[in-house]
Amino acid sequence: MKIISFPERATWPALLARPVQSTEQIEAAVAPILAQVRQGGDAALIELAQKFDKTDLTTSGLAVSVAELDQAEAQLSPELKDAIRQAYQNIRTFHERQKQPIEKIETMPGVVCWRRSVGIEKVGLYIPGGTAPLFSTVLMLGVPAQLAGCNEIVLCTPSNHPAIYFAAKLVGVTKVFRIGGAQAIAAMAYGTESVPQVYKIFGPGNQYVTAAKMLVAKEGMAIDMPAGPSEVAIYADDTAVPAFVAADLLSQAEHGADSQVLLVSTSKRLVELVNLTLPTQLSKLPRKDLAAKALENSKAVLVETQAEAIDLLNTYAAEHLILSIGNAENVVDQIINAGSIFLGNYTPESAGDYASGTNHTLPTNGFARAYSGVSLDSFVKKITVQHITPEGIQHVGPVVEAMAEAESLIAHKRAVSLRLASLNEINPA
């Protein structure tokens, strides 16, 4: 890792900048795919699968059958099935506690307001194929959708890995399709003869999938969040274990060559020890080539004080932030920009990626300054309700009349005035 010692604050924006991605060329390639699916439906999906994935969907069909989902369980080891079930239960336990009971609030006598959560009727989950079968993401997206009570949960993936099918059945996915890439996003956004149109699309993907999500969002389709390459920032001091820190950096770097890896420390010794252990651990990884490319662009930043480290981390707004420091629990409340935080030497990012219970679908590319990760709230709408009694309209009515008249919205005022007049007729002073 390149070590940058005590950078001036004026240099932080450039130091912490993510690689700029040129979206114009990618969007120009994706837009015709969206149009082709919108116009051609299933036939377009079959043609695009042959073109991009070299897959003949005329033989296998677009949809994965119930029998195939059932058979997937038998293809997995008992150990993996137990692990998936345990992760499912942990994720469900954490997300279930996010349910909020209805609380009726009387703002004035006779004026009662409340809010209720309603599951989004139709949601689409995208699970990439690529070099890793991301069945963990099926759990992360499917569990909150299941808990929210979404009526239709559509999953698109080019992968036929049995663990993805097993997880899909576990979380109550209603339909699974063998569709990948930008065309999968188009299918869920517009609907085809086979694929239902959904109301919100979730899930990670490559730059073409991301561009497709952003383009359909411009047309009014709801999506989970903007996305970019996955990233981790680690703040470590002399209480950290260098081998643990190196392992956490590599666990992020192995995602891909564009993964973002940042180490921040007040200890030169710690940074040097991490740099010493990185090559040994890297050499043992099956995905070492990908991880090595990510590390080429990684940085270790030395700062003078903990306060400066916290400021730098809040400026960076990491997707994943690991606090491998002695006073992690005291510092955590000072972190205001991060997708998910991991405290102490025994809390690796991997735990959150798979099975601790928190969601691993998180804002990247600095969006943690304004966005939250996926949660139960991502799959529900909050609908407000109010009920005003005759007593209540007498209390709030004059307030509404005065404000409506000041805005020159006389019909608004009249809607209240008529009711007040009717009550005066019933109960004359």
Residues annotated as catalytic (active site), given as ranges: 319-320
Residue 183, annotated ligand binder? yes
Residue 95, annotated ligand binder? no
Which tokens in the block code for residue 387?
């009920």
Residue 353, annotated ligand binder? yes
Task: Give the span between the Cα atoms of 233 and 252, in whole angstroms.
Answer: 10
Task: Give the span between the Cα atoms of 338 and 316, in whole angstroms.
Answer: 8
Residue 412, annotated ligand binder? yes
* Surface-to-core class of residue 284, CB atoms within 10 Å of its CB (0-12 exposed, 13-18 middle, 19+ buried): exposed
Three-state SS sequence of 99-144: CCCCCCEEEECCEEEEEEEEECCEEEEECCCCCCCCHHHHHHHHHH
- Phi, psi (rounded to 5 degrees) for 51: -70, -45
* Neighbouring-strand partners of residue 124: 154, 201
Residue 190, annotated ligand binder? no
Q: CB of 180 within 8 A of CB of 2?
A: no
Residue 320, annotated ligand binder? yes
For the annotated binding site for substrate, the residues are 230, 252, 255, 320, 353, 407, 412
For the annotated binding site, the residues are 126, 183, 206, 230, 252, 255, 320, 353, 407, 412
For the annotated binding site for NAD(+), the residues are 126, 183, 206
For the annotated binding site for Zn(2+), the residues are 252, 255, 353, 412
